Amino acid sequence: MKAPGHQEETAVEEAAGIEALPFPESLCHRCTAMRQVATKTSSFLMCTALPVKYPRQPVARCPAFTARGER
Ligand code: SF4
């Protein structure tokens, strides 16, 4: 059983996780097509929906955006 307020805590934790990623303001973080690619020194946001695998960041609008949890 989940404690009261669990959803709010999850949203806060998720936001904190996004803050730790590159371009936290990017729309890609809320998209099902985004994959994070990390090397020892860098982290990239890869798109699996567009021909351009590494779109210029931060993405503010995108015709291929699909919100997580809505597919
Ligand atoms: S489809 Fe658009 S919003 Fe989604 S990951 Fe690719 S570039 Fe970002």
- The string of pLDDT tens digits covering residues 18-32 is 667 889 999 999 999
**Probe ligand 1: pick from 45, 50, 54, 71, max atoms within 8 Å of CB?**
50
User: Which residue's alpha carbon is at the smallest distance from atom 8 of ligand 1?
Assistant: 28
46 CB less than 6 Å from ligand 1? no
Mean pLDDT, to the nearest integer, of 42-62?
Answer: 96
Q: For residues 49 and 34, what is the distance between their CA atoms, to the nearest angstrom?
A: 8
Output the average pLDDT for the chain: 83
pTM over 0.85: no
pLDDT value at residue 22: 86
Look at residue 54 and tell me whether its pLDDT is greater than 90: yes
Q: Is the CB of 29 under 6 A from ligand 1?
A: no
Separation between Cα atoms, residue 63 and residue 46, nearest integer Å: 16
